[in-house]
Amino acid sequence: MRLRKASSRLALAIRTSSPEASASRRSIASIIWSCYSGGDLSKQAALIRTGRFVMNGADPLVPYALYAGCDGLIWGGAIFAPKTCVALVEAAAEGKWDEVRALWKILEPAMGLIWETRLRAVRLRRRQSHRLRCRHAAQAVARAGSREARNAHGAGSVTVSGTAKNVFVASRLPKRAGVSGWVAILQPRTPRPVLSEAISVDVAIIGGGFAGLSAGHRLSRLDPTVRVAILEAGIVGEGPAGANSGFIIDLPHEVSSNDFSGESEGRFRDSVLLQRSAIALATELAAENGWGKDLFDPCGRSSNAMSAKGDKHLDAYSRQLSKMGEAHRLLKREEIEAVTGSKAFTSALFSPGTVVIQPAAYISGVADCLKEPVRLFEQTPALSFERSGDGWPVKTPKGLVRTAKIILANNGHAESFGFFRRRLLHVFTYASMARAE
């Protein structure tokens, strides 16, 4: 097998679904090679003909792709454990097979989990799309005449993955694994009611996390008469919006990128503006409702370094922030030790704009201060919505929302309705909470 040392060139692995997709990504400077695992040799050959460094993913095509001139084999592990994968490839290139086997043993449990989960997801998706196709076919037959007439005029359709669609059915709904620590330390909250009737509103919002509830508040600020129904599948605070680290940041996380220039400067400014608008709305809500620092603390944030390399990153970030005119302060080892009580940190960069929240308390507070005519319904999943005349009725298990506009604020579950297919990755991360002694 032809293996090439990739460590020095490994900037970013991109799984391409097609040579066309690869071509569109070629303009991105930091992408230096492509990985294709679509299982279609003709597509892989087209990608090889582009002259780029091309790898084949872990699929049965591997030997044929290598005959065709592919540069090597790489698999999803490169995304999850890049350093170990590069070390493995290097050891193989040098013929150190004992080392390769030892590294593979480290990777194997995680790889097994990824592959097994991916296979299950594919099987599940096939079963679901078969069921959905049957359901859509039945609905299409029932409405064939009027639908065709409407589509012929291009009216009232939404384009999902290139296909005009009028019916969106949730293929799955969120599940809660358990109670988060943030919720457990709060007083029990009385959830808003389940929707159990048919109502009419101007805007329906699907999802009661940060995005959905903030959209409800923002709409009512823009027009206090606008009728809004927010549908939350579970209980507010028990989803991701109530189970995170609680940093509402104004400046980007990235402390190691090399420069902010040209387009990236524009993107930086846009994202800072967006983040500061969110912080402004949150600050207004905190002031109106008298939330204390235990819930909403505009204390700023420090990024701490633990090595000379980290110090360098912070220096570079500081230079970028100065260039953008953003307030910040570099802290020396003794200064950050005085703040944290730990000798572990070698330097730190403090920026004042971040707010730290108790996420479950914050999002519950945001829900509980919604006022008529913005209504929140909890334990009320949106099961489907479809075009009907001028509106988009949304069905829930016990009710119906008639509306002209829908805001989809259900995060990764947008994919359940068919949006952003194959473009979203659900990631589960966990943290534990300890009691201070």
> Interface with ligand FAD includes 207 (CB under 6 A)?
yes
Check binding of 191 to ligand FAD (CB under 6 A). no
Interaction of residue 381 with ligand FAD, rule CB under 6 A:
yes
Q: What gap in Å lies between CA 302 and CA 403, rounded to an integer? A: 44
Q: For 98-130, b where at least 16 C-beta lie within 10 A, e where not — what string? A: eebeebeeebeeebeebeeeeeeeeeeeeeeee
Q: CB under 6 A: which stretch of 8-16, 71-79, 205-213, 319-327 binds ligand FAD? A: 205-213
Cα–Cα distance, 265 to 103 (Å, whole number): 40
- 77 makes contact with ligand FAD (CB under 6 A): no
Range in contact with ligand FAD (rule: CB under 6 A) among 21-29, 92-100, 200-208, 264-272: 200-208
The reply on whether position 195 binds ligand FAD by CB under 6 A is: no
Residues 210 to 229 in contact with ligand FAD, rule: CB under 6 A: 210-212
Tell whether residue 298 is a contact of ligand FAD (CB under 6 A): no
Q: Does 432 bind ligand FAD (CB under 6 A)?
A: no
Q: How many residues bind ligand FAD (CB under 6 A)?
A: 29
Interacting stretch for ligand FAD, rule CB under 6 A, among 13-21, 187-195, 244-252, 320-328? 244-252
231 binds ligand FAD (CB under 6 A): yes
Strand partners, 33: 13, 53
Site string for ligand FAD, 148-187 (x = CB under 6 A): ----------------------x--xx-------------
3-state helix, strand, coil in the chain (%, to 5): 45, 15, 40
With beta carbons less than 8 A apart as the criterion, state whether 358 and 295 touch.
Answer: yes
Separation between Cα atoms, residue 173 and residue 383, nearest integer Å: 8
The answer to whether residue 410 forms part of the interface with ligand FAD (CB under 6 A) is yes
Q: Does 393 bind ligand FAD (CB under 6 A)?
A: no
Task: Out of 89, 382, 401, 407, point to the residue binding ligand FAD (CB under 6 A).
Answer: 382
Q: Are 57 and 39 in contact (CB under 8 A)?
A: no
429 contacts ligand FAD (rule: CB under 6 A): yes
Cβ 377 vs Cβ 230: under 8 Å:
yes
Q: Which two tokens stand for residue 218?
A: 């923002």
Q: Which stretch binds ligand FAD (CB under 6 A): 54-62, 80-88, 196-204, 238-246?
A: 238-246
Q: How far is the CB of 363 from ligand FAD (least distance, A)?
A: 8
Please identify which residue in 209, 216, 353, 393 interacts with ligand FAD, judged by CB under 6 A: 209
- What is the contact mask toward ligand FAD in residues 97 to 136, using x (rule: CB under 6 A)? ----------------------------------------
Cβ-closest position to ligand FAD: 209
425 is an interface residue for ligand FAD by CB under 6 A: no
Task: Give the three-class secondary structure for 349.
Answer: strand
245 binds ligand FAD (CB under 6 A): yes
State the pairing for strand pair 296-297/394-395: unpaired
What does the H/E/C string look like for 280-346? Answer: HHHHHHHHHHCCCCCCEECCCEEEEECCHHHHHHHHHHHHHHHHCCCCCEEEEHHHHHHHHCCCCCC
* Minimal distance, residue 211 CB to ligand FAD, in Å: 3
Positive or negative, the Cα torsion across 143, 144, 146, 152? positive
What is the nearest approach in angstroms of ligand FAD to the Cβ of residue 380? 7
Q: Can you point out the beta strands (E) in 97-197?
A: 158-160, 163-165, 167-169
Q: 170 or 361: whose CB is closer to ligand FAD?
A: 170
CA–CA dist 192, 376 (Å, integer)? 6
**Binder to ligand FAD among 38, 156, 240, 252 (CB under 6 A)?**
240
Residue 206 interacts with ligand FAD (CB under 6 A): yes or no: yes
Nearer of residues 241 and 370 to ligand FAD, judged by Cβ: 241
Q: Does 367 bind ligand FAD (CB under 6 A)?
A: no
CA dihedral for 417, 421, 423, 429, sign (positive or negative): positive
Q: Are 111 and 117 in contact (CB under 8 A)?
A: no
Which of 1, 152, 431, 436 touches ligand FAD (CB under 6 A)? Answer: 431
Written as one letter, the residue type at 357 is: I
Please report whether residue 246 would count as binding ligand FAD according to CB under 6 A.
Answer: yes
Are the C-beta atoms of 147 and 140 separated by less than 8 Å?
yes
Strands 400-402 and 394-395: antiparallel
Could you list the residues that contact ligand FAD (CB under 6 A)? 170, 173-174, 206-212, 231-234, 239-241, 244-247, 381-382, 409-411, 413, 429, 431
